Amino acid sequence: MYARRRRVYFLLMGGCLFLFVSAWSFVRLLSVEAAVALCVVAMVIPPVAAVIANRRGPDDRWWDDPSGDPKSDEWWDELDGKRRHEE
């Protein structure tokens, strides 16, 4: 799962780099407006790539998963209000 997300991240960032380099290498010779448009598209890709790389997969461990320490898990469950302990 991490390899797939890493691959997608590097593909997006490679596409971003390709758009930026091609915009100012040869597209600017044809149209400066098109080169600027390519740079604007390239500017949007890195945040999208970061979101994709950091999203949680179905098999990923999440912050509220049990830690394995019963005392700690009981304490956190009580704080979160997941289980009410009757005394």
Kindly report, residue by residue over 14-66, the tens digit of the pLDDT.
Answer: 999 999 999 999 999 999 999 999 999 999 999 999 998 888 776 665 666 66
Which own/partner pairs from 41-47 qualify as long-range (CB within 8 Å, at least 24 positions apart)? 42/16, 42/17, 45/12, 45/13, 45/15, 45/16, 45/19, 46/12, 46/13, 46/16
- Which positions ≥6 away from 64 have C-beta within 8 Å? 76, 80
Decide if pLDDT at 69 tops 90.
Answer: no
The model's pTM:
0.64
Decide if pLDDT at 87 tops 60.
Answer: no
Decide if pLDDT at 6 tops 80.
Answer: yes
- Whether residue 19 contacts residue 42, with contact meaning beta carbons closer than 8 Å, is answered with yes
What pLDDT sits at residue 50? 92
What pLDDT sits at residue 47? 95
Helix axis angle for 2-22 and 32-54, nearest 10°, is: 170
**Higher-pLDDT residue of 35, 82:** 35
The position carrying tokens 């448009």 is 37
